Copies of this chain bind each other. A is one copy, B any other.
Amino acid sequence: MHVTLVHVQVKPERVDAFIEATRVNHEASIKEKGNRRFDVLQDATDPGKFILYEAYATAEDAKAHKDTLHYVKWREQVAMMMANPREGIQYQCLFPK
């Protein structure tokens, strides 16, 4: 599995709007070819801190996510909600295979 952790810091007054936009992205993303996980995590101690945990069968499947309409809409919607630019970090998932 090819995994990306997307770290996002949201402006305090935009947290609810971010969660709603990301819920829509989640619902569509889990239906994509090769998607294994699209978990939306909120930090237990900082409600403005989020991680999108995105796992795909292959790097190609992960790349295809960025060409979907729901991703492009999400990216535009949340651009002004973030306190600073989001950061995506790539991992190889060793287990499960």
Q: A residues touching B (Cβ–Cβ < 8 Å)?
A: 1, 3, 5, 19, 22-23, 26-27, 30, 37-45, 51, 53, 55, 89-96
Contact (Cβ within 8 A) A43 B94: no
Chain B contacts for A30, CB-based, 8 A: 96
Chain B contacts for A95, CB-based, 8 A: 22-23, 26-27, 38-40
Say whether, besides A37-B37, A53-B53, A91 and B42 are in contact (CB < 8 Å).
Answer: yes
Chain B contacts for A53, CB-based, 8 A: 53
Nearest Cβ on chain B to A30's Cβ, whole angstroms: 8
Bound-complex Cα distance A12 to B43 (A)? 30
Nearest Cβ on chain B to A44's Cβ, whole angstroms: 4
